[in-house]
């Protein structure tokens, strides 16, 4: 078994692979001050609860955008599984070339998403990840990661709205039936969701125009991405597990090397 672990700003997601097959996923909130024992016990107990033999775990691969947790997390894998994890970063074979001004600035999650989008859906491809930040990244037909866009995530925008405006309540993020709202909650939902649909379509359209690449597939992932993908024809595919699949693809490339 392979454990593919995506450590994000809000939570981390663990995928259990047998070969290329994603068998299971589970997640935990990302907290900076967790100990290696907390991480290790959580992963072991969850695997055992789901019926897996932890002795079958042969390798672990990690993509992280939270450097502060990596010492404890790496220690947990070493201590509880006896394995040194593969960490996505400089020197890792990915199958794509980062053709940006400063490749080292590109987050591991964006690289992994780009690899999965390119390998699974072909290039040129725009990969949109609706996370704490929403990222839009373009990979060309010949596998060059040429750049992208970063914007506040939907939930990040919502948190700013109700934390900074005293009279606005915390709300459920969902699309209202009509954009012309007759109450505060529905007006906020409309602004967030319809506004984000508009942003998504505009950014994708401008990326396609500037690239001059003609037909480009657009693949979305991330927690609230499904809601947006269902409301626009600008997104061709939604893949909830794109990042985990990308980690598995990168893992295979290390073994083939």
CA distance 69 to 54: 23
CA distance 8 to 64: 6
Neighbour-count burial for 53-72, b at 16+ CB within 10 Å, e otherwise? eeeebebbbbbbbeeebeeb
Q: Which of 11, 53, 109, 113 is catalytic?
A: 109
H helical segments located in 82-180: 108-121, 154-164
For residue 124, whether the previous peptide bond is cis, meaning omega lies within 30 degrees of 0, is yes
Question: Residue 87's closest CA among 99, 75, 96?
Answer: 75
Half-sphere exposure of 172 (CA within 13 A, CB side): 4
| Strands 144-152 and 97-98, bridge-based pairing | parallel
- Give me the residues of the chain with pLDDT under 50, please: none
**Cα–chain center distance at 77:** 21
CA distance 181 to 100: 43
Show the CA angle centred on residue 204, arms to residues 203 and 210, nearest 5°. 85
Element housing 45 (H / E): helix 36-49
Strands (DSSP E) found in 118-191 = 125-130, 133-139, 144-152
Tokens representing 90 are 């400089």
What pLDDT is stored for residue 241 in this prediction? 96
> Tokens 């919502």 belong to which residue?
158
What pLDDT is stored for residue 17 in this prediction? 98
What pLDDT is stored for residue 257 in this prediction? 61
> Tokens 């959580």 belong to which residue?
42
To the question of pTM greater than 0.85 for the whole model, the response is: yes
What pLDDT is stored for residue 236 in this prediction? 97
Asked if 75 contacts 17 with a C-beta cutoff of 8 angstroms, the reply is no
Asked if 221 contacts 86 with a C-beta cutoff of 8 angstroms, the reply is no
What pLDDT is stored for residue 96 in this prediction? 95
Would residue 129 show up in a list of annotated catalytic residues for this protein? no
């Amino acid at each position: 078994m392979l454990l593919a672990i995506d450590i994000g700003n809000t939570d981390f997601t663990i995928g259990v692979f047998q070969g290329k097959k994603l068998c299971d996923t589970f997640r935990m909130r990302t907290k900076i001050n967790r100990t290696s024992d907390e991480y290790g016990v959580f992963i072991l107990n969850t695997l055992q609860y789901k019926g897996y033999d932890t002795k079958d775990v042969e390798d672990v691969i990690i993509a992280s955008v939270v450097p502060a947790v990596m010492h404890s997390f790496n220690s947990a894998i070493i201590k509880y599984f006896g394995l040194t994890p593969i960490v996505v970063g400089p020197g890792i074979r990915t199958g794509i070339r980062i053709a940006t001004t400063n490749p080292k600035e590109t987050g591991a999650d964006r690289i992994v998403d780009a690899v999965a989008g390119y390998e699974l859906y072909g290039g040129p491809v725009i990969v949109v990840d609706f996370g704490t930040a929403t990222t839009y990244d373009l990979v060309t037909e010949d596998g060059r990661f040429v750049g992208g866009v970063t914007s506040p995530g939907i939930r990040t925008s919502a948190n700013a709205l109700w934390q900074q405006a005293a009279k606005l309540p915390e709300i459920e993020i969902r699309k209202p039936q009509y954009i012309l709202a007759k109450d505060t909650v529905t007006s906020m939902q409309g602004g967030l969701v319809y506004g984000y649909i508009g942003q998504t379509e505009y950014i994708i359209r401008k990326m396609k125009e500037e690239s001059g690449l003609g037909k480009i597939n657009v693949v979305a992932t991330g927690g609230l991405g499904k809601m947006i993908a269902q409301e626009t024809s600008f997104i061709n595919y939604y893949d909830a597990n794109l990042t985990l699949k990308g980690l598995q693809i990168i893992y295979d490339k290390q073994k083939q090397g």
